[in-house]
Structures are given as structure tokens and as C-alpha cells.
Amino acid sequence: MGTTQLESVPEPKYWHLRTVLSEALDSEFSVGEILPNERDLAARFGVARATLRQALEQLELEGRLQRRRGVGTTVAPPRVGVALGTEQHTWPGAAGDAWQPVDCTTEVPPAAVASALETGAEEPVHTVRRSRRTHGQPVAAELLYVPQPAVPDLSAIDAPSGPARARAVLRELQRLELEGQESAVELGSARADDAKQLDRLPGSPVLVVTTRFNAEGRTTALSVATYRADTCRLTFGDSGGVEIHQGPERQAS
């Protein structure tokens, strides 16, 4: 009888905490500022550390916070827009390419890659590893798979691996006429090697961009690029991108 209907759908604590912290970040903190440590914050809000961490995880996922072990939790800068060239239709390694070759090996690719390239399951392909940086920070790691028949003229002078080999493979790619490309974006978690290259822990959320390059009537190269989901906004289309989702709560009404 005396019980009112308020709180009929109680919000989880960590979700409420996320909202409170988010508003505090907007009004009381500036980019780069260090937050109090997790134990203090948890005590201040009267929750267990695990609950506080659940809220921080959400905010980190949304790109609002950055956490580094042994250092602390800082307010993250707005996400950086990273252009994805879906309209240019140029080969990887063309002039103005934002990527930097790191290494190149020739090995048997994962099964899914082999089937996309329509190569044999046990057939080695050139595997170029590249890195993309913005403002000095690594933002993406890429594996570019190129079947050997696509670049037959790799001279024996080139090293069997290393950055020089990577550049040679990319150079050979430019000879072909690019007929089209298709991309897909999905959420993933960083594998150990990508995580290291991106300066993150394994399992960190990443945006995986898979691009298939078509030439001579077949798939001639396949790129699997892994972008840091916490710091990147992938942009497409006519210009550099749209500036939304900074600032305070984006929810109207």
C-alpha cells in the first residue's frame, strides 16, 4: 500500500555510475587530466571496485577514457577521424598511402583468407604487415595478403623478408589495373600480435576492416586492417568526416 511505483525498473549501479562520471568528465575535467585511482573513486561512490571498473570500461569503450597499467586513468581526447579510401580505388602502397610497410613474409594464410583469395588451402602467399600512425600514435595494424602469381616479377635481388621486401610487393601491385574493391567493417578483439603493434592489451576492442581488391577478374589482394576502436572514427565519403558524438550526452528528449 505504502509502496510507490518509483524505481520500478532499477538501473544497474554501474550504468548510473557511467552516466554520473560521463557528466563529470564533460563539466569538471579537461583532456589529458588524470582521474583519482580506482580504489579512491570506488570508495567515493560507495561501490565495490569491480562495479566502478565496469563503469570505467564502458567509458573507455566509448572513447572517453584511457587507462594505462601502472600509470592511471586519463581523460581521452576526441576520437581521431581516419579516412578509409573507399572511393579512390587505388592499390595499397600507391602515392599518398597512409600506411608504412613493416615486414613481409611468405607463408600459408588462415583458411578464411585462402578461400577468399581462391588459393589452395596450403598454398603460401605474400603477407605484408603494415602500420598506420596518426599524431605519433599507432592507430591500425594491417595484414595484406597477395597471392604469389599476382606479383611474379619479384626479383631475386630483393630480400626474402623485411620492409624492403614489403615495398617490393607493393611496387609490383601497382602494375595491375585495379577493377574494384569491397570493404566490410566489424567489431573484433585484438590478437596478441596486433595488440602489441597498437600498444594495447590483447582482447582490446578493435574495428576490423576487410578489403578485397579485384583485378584481372579475380581477387588479387586481401587486406585485414585492425583499428583501435577506442581512439578511431572511420570516415567515408566526400570529405574528412563528421564531427558528432563529442561533447555532452548525445541523447535528446
Residues that bind DNA (CB under 7 A): 9-10, 12-15, 35, 37-40, 46-51, 53-54, 67-73, 201, 203
Q: Are 143 and 128 in contact (CB under 8 A)?
A: yes
**Which CB sits closer to a second copy, 155 or 253?**
253
Query: Cβ distance 169 to 92 under 8 Å?
Result: no
112 binds, among DNA, a second copy, none (CB under 5 to 8 A by kind): a second copy
Q: Which residue has the cell 594491417?
A: 142
Task: Please state the closest distance from residue 76 (CB atom) to DNA, in A.
Answer: 13
Which segments of 118-222 does DSSP mark as H helices, in order? 163-173, 192-198
Q: How far is the CB of 168 from DNA (least distance, A)?
A: 34
Which one of DNA, a second copy, none is in contact with 53 (Cβ closer than 5 to 8 A by kind)?
Answer: DNA
- List C-alpha distances in Å: 23 to 45, 48, 204, 232: 15, 21, 25, 22
Residue 186: Cβ within 10 Å count: 9
Nearest-approach distance from CB 230 to a second copy, in angstroms: 8
Q: Between residues 1 and 9, which has the closer beta carbon with respect to a second copy?
A: 9
Q: Please give the distance of CA 198 from its chain centroid, rounded to a whole number.
A: 8
Lay out the site mask for a second copy across 142-181 (x = CB under 8 A, - = otherwise).
--------------------------------------xx
Sequence-distant (≥ 6) Cβ neighbours of residue 241 within 8 angstroms: 81, 83, 233, 235
Return the number of the residue (174 or 210) whose C-beta is nearest a second copy: 210
- Interface residue with a second copy among 107, 123, 199, 216 (CB under 8 A) is 107
Grid cell, residue 69, equals 597499467
- Partners of 131 in the β-ladder: 100, 141
Site for a second copy in 5-24 (CB under 8 A): 15, 18
CB of 246 to DNA, least distance (A): 23
Which one, 56 or 234, has the nearer CB to DNA? Answer: 56
* H-helix or E-strand spanning residue 88: none
CB 206 within 8 A of CB 142: no
CA dist., res. 36 & res. 122, Å (int): 53
Which does residue 49 touch among DNA, a second copy, none (CB within 5 to 8 A, set by kind)? DNA
Binding site for a second copy (CB under 8 A): 15, 18, 58, 61-63, 79, 81, 84, 86-87, 105, 107-113, 115-116, 127, 180-189, 191, 193, 202-203, 205, 207-208, 210-212, 214, 222, 224, 229-230, 232-253
